[in-house]
Amino acid sequence: MPLNWKLGGLLLGLVFFAAVLLVKPIGVSTQFVILDGIIGNAVNPELVTQTEEGYSSTNAYLAKSDGKYARAVANPLNYSFVFVLAMMAGAFASVMARGGLGAEERRLPEIWRRSFGDTPVKRYMLAFLGGFVVLYGARLAGGCTSGHMMSGMMQTSLSGYIFAAGAFAAAVPVSILMYRKGELS
C-alpha cells in the first residue's frame, strides 16, 4: 500500500524543491536520448565529435543547442545522467527495504491481471509500444511528466500547463477504455 497522500505528496514536493534549491529542476526523458547517443557512438564513433568550440554530432538532434546533448553523450558522468542512475538505485533500495515485489507482481501488475488475466506477452508488447510512444512524445514536447508536468507547473511555466493538458486529454480516455470496467467490477 502506498504512503498516505499527505505524507507522500509532502515528501515528493520536498524532493522537487530540493532539486531546484540546490541544482536545477528535475527532468528525466532527455537521458533516453543520451543513452541512445552513447550506444550509437559506441557502434559508430563518428556520431559525436569534439570540435574546437565543444562537441557536435552528425545527428541534428544531438548537435542542436551548440551540441549540448553531444557533450553529455561524450561525458556520461554528468549530473543529469547520474541522477537517473541514482533514481534506479533509490527505487531498488526502497523496494528491497519493504520486502521486494512478489514474483506475480514482477511478472504482471495487478491491474492488468484483473482486466486481462494472465497474458504476459500481450502486456509486454503493449509496454514496449507504450514506451516507444511515451519517449517519442516526450522528446517532441521537450520534456516528460517530471520535467514538464511536475517541474514545469511548479515553476508556473506555460509549457507545463500545455503539456499536462495534452497528456491527461489522451491518458484518461485510454485508461478508462482499458481498465475502468475491470476495476469497478
Which 61-100 positions form the footprint of another protein (CB under 8 A)? Answer: 61-62, 64, 77, 79-80, 82-95, 100
Which residue in the set 15, 65, 75, 118 belongs to the binding site for another protein (CB under 8 A)? 15
- Which of residues 4 and 53 has its CB atom nearest to another protein in the complex? 4
CA distance 64 to 82: 22
Q: Give the DSSP per-residue string, 67-128.
A: HHHHHHHH--SSHHHHHHHHHHHHHHHHHHHTT---HHHHHS-HHHHHHH-S-HHHHHHHHH
CA distance 16 to 5: 16
- Residue tagged 570540435 (cell numbers): 51
Q: Is 20 in the site for another protein (CB under 8 A)?
A: yes
Q: Is 2 in the site for another protein (CB under 8 A)?
A: yes
Lay out the site mask for another protein across 95-134 (x = CB under 8 A, - = otherwise): x----xxx--xxxxxxxx-------x--xxxxxxxxxxxx
Q: Is 46 in the site for another protein (CB under 8 A)?
A: no
User: Between residue 156 and residue 185, which ones bind another protein under the rule CB under 8 A?
Assistant: 156-172, 174-176, 178-180, 183-184
Q: Is 135 in the site for another protein (CB under 8 A)?
A: yes
What are the Cα distances from residue 44, in Å, to 34, 81, 110? Answer: 15, 21, 42
- Which of residues 52 and 79 has its CB atom nearest to another protein in the complex? 79
